[in-house]
């Protein structure tokens, strides 16, 4: 996650416990309170033609999925926060007799009925990635900095619609990145990194921009007024960091065993001194004056996610034939190359397209 959550354990009772990266940015801006948005009861049923959706063939199971595909029951829960006593209306509008994909499309159409443009984007997101544009349940959570934060469900509609555009662009970029890597791998090598599907849990915070995002299980909490979620490139980076956390967890907290020795030795040597940590920091993101990669007191989890983000940033440029703006990460201290190789081997089939130092 980004900033605040970094100090919290992953397994928490609330969704938000794992705030996103970029600590410094969390809450750093004076963002006006968002307009009240939509956690209310399901919208009226859309016209039959748009809701029932055309027959879409059931896609083959994606072997690259973070989890199995979403079920219609998942969609009821994620899109409407539906409980047993709230599902009757949903099932009148979108009968359970429908096949999986048409029923999820129907539920998405219902959820976004009053905003055709957002509806189209949410449907496209589902069709391209299997991901759902849903709601975070209202909750009060630790903010990771000793305080509490109150989070409320919201939707990417009207003036917030642009977030769906940025998210779609990010997923399309991840697809190009992963396909590009695979094109350079021998047939036997496999990329273990998975980027979909995701349950987006949109929210806004009473503290404005904080937290920007967090990841837990297959869910990504996304603050529609997050201080970091302000452009296509910023959202691309934030989501990649969060999706990296999902992979780390999926692989049994991979970073704890694989990268902790390197991370811990660096922290032992440098403490929290910026000048000492700088050569080892995969990104320049700071939280409370400390490199975000080294703010995690519970281990190498944030170091791993920032290293993953650096790997992605360098490779997407190389795959596009563009020069790297700064010295490659692996060309820093020996620890950097060691961590780079461990990461590439475990998650990206061993691919390293960055030229030798």
Q: Does 25 bind Zn ion (CB under 5 A)?
A: no
Determine how many CB atoms are found less than 10 A away from the CB of residue 137: 16
Q: Does 267 bind Zn ion (CB under 5 A)?
A: no
Q: Does 21 bind Zn ion (CB under 5 A)?
A: yes
Which residues make Cβ contacts (< 8 Å) with residue 40, sequence separation at least 6?
A: none
**Inter-residue contact 192 to 346 (CB < 8 Å):** yes
CB nearer to Zn ion: pick between 23 and 122: 23
From 127-135, 166-174, 200-208, 300-308, give the range in contact with Zn ion by CB under 5 A. Answer: 300-308
CB nearer to Zn ion: pick between 1 and 75: 1
Q: Does 1 bind Zn ion (CB under 5 A)?
A: yes
3-state secondary structure of 139: strand
In whole angstroms, the minimum distance from the beta carbon of 66 to Zn ion comes to: 16
In whole angstroms, the minimum distance from the beta carbon of 245 to Zn ion comes to: 5
From 18-26, 203-211, 220-228, 254-262, give the range in contact with Zn ion by CB under 5 A. Answer: 18-26
In whole angstroms, the minimum distance from the beta carbon of 27 to Zn ion comes to: 16
The 238-257 contact track toward Zn ion, x by CB under 5 A, reads: --------------------
Q: What is the DSSP letter of 67?
A: S
Determine how many CB atoms are found less than 10 A away from the CB of residue 317: 15
**Inter-residue contact 212 to 6 (CB < 8 Å):** no
Distance CA 21, CA 290 (A): 12
Q: Does 170 bind Zn ion (CB under 5 A)?
A: no
**Inter-residue contact 171 to 192 (CB < 8 Å):** no
CB nearer to Zn ion: pick between 21 and 121: 21
User: Contacts with Zn ion: how many residues (CB under 5 A)?
Assistant: 3
From 14-22, 188-196, 231-239, 325-333, give the range in contact with Zn ion by CB under 5 A. Answer: 14-22
From 17-25, 52-60, 273-281, 316-324, give the range in contact with Zn ion by CB under 5 A. Answer: 17-25
Distance CA 76, CA 53 (A): 17
**Which residues in 105-136 are b (16+ Cβ under 10 Å) and which e?**
bbbbbbbbbebeebbebbbebbeebbbbbbbb
CB nearer to Zn ion: pick between 166 and 292: 292
Which residue's Cβ lies closest to Zn ion?
1
Distance CA 344, CA 357 (A): 16
Distance CA 164, CA 157 (A): 9
In whole angstroms, the minimum distance from the beta carbon of 353 to Zn ion comes to: 25
CB nearer to Zn ion: pick between 21 and 125: 21
Cross-strand bridge partners of residue 141: 149
Whats the size of the chain, residue-wise? 357
From 111-119, 126-134, 268-276, 302-310, give the range in contact with Zn ion by CB under 5 A. Answer: 302-310
Distance CA 294, CA 303 (A): 6
From 112-120, 133-141, 170-178, 303-311, give the range in contact with Zn ion by CB under 5 A. Answer: 303-311
* Sites of contact with Zn ion (CB under 5 A): 1, 21, 305
């Amino acid at each position: 996650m980004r900033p605040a959550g970094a100090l919290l354990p992953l397994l928490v009772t609330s969704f938000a416990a794992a705030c996103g990266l970029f600590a410094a940015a969390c809450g750093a801006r004076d963002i006006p309170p968002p307009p009240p948005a939509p956690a209310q009861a399901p919208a009226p049923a859309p016209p039959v033609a748009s809701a029932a959706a055309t027959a879409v063939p059931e896609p083959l199971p994606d072997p690259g999925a973070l989890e199995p595909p979403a079920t219609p029951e998942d969609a009821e829960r994620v899109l409407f926060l539906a409980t047993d006593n709230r599902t009757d209306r949903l099932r009148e509008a979108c009968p359970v007799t429908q096949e999986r994909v048409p029923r999820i499309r129907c539920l998405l159409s219902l959820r976004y009925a009053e905003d055709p443009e957002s509806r189209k984007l949410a449907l496209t997101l589902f069709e391209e990635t299997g991901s759902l544009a849903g709601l975070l349940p209202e909750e009060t959570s630790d903010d990771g900095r000793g305080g509490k934060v109150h989070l409320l469900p919201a939707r990417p509609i009207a003036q917030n619609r642009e977030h769906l555009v940025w998210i779609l662009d990010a997923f399309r970029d991840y697809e190009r990145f992963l396909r590009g890597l695979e094109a350079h791998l021998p047939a036997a090598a496999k990329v273990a990194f998975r980027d979909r599907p995701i349950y987006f849990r949109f929210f806004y915070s009473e503290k404005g921009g904080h937290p920007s995002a967090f990841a837990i299980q297959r869910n990504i909490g996304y603050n529609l007024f997050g201080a970091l979620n302000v452009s296509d490139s910023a959202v691309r980076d934030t989501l990649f960091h969060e999706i990296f956390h999902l992979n780390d967890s999926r692989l049994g907290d991979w970073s704890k065993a694989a990268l902790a020795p390197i991370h811990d030795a660096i922290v032992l040597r440098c403490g929290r001194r910026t000048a000492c940590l700088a050569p080892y920091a995969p990104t320049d993101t700071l939280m409370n004056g400390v490199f975000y990669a080294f703010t995690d007191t519970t281990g190498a989890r944030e170091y791993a996610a920032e290293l993953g983000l650096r790997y992605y940033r360098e490779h997407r440029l190389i795959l596009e034939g563009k020069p790297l703006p700064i010295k490659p990460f692996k060309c820093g201290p020996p620890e950097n190359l060691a961590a780079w190789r461990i990461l590439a081997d475990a998650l990206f089939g061993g691919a390293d397209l960055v030229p030798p130092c």
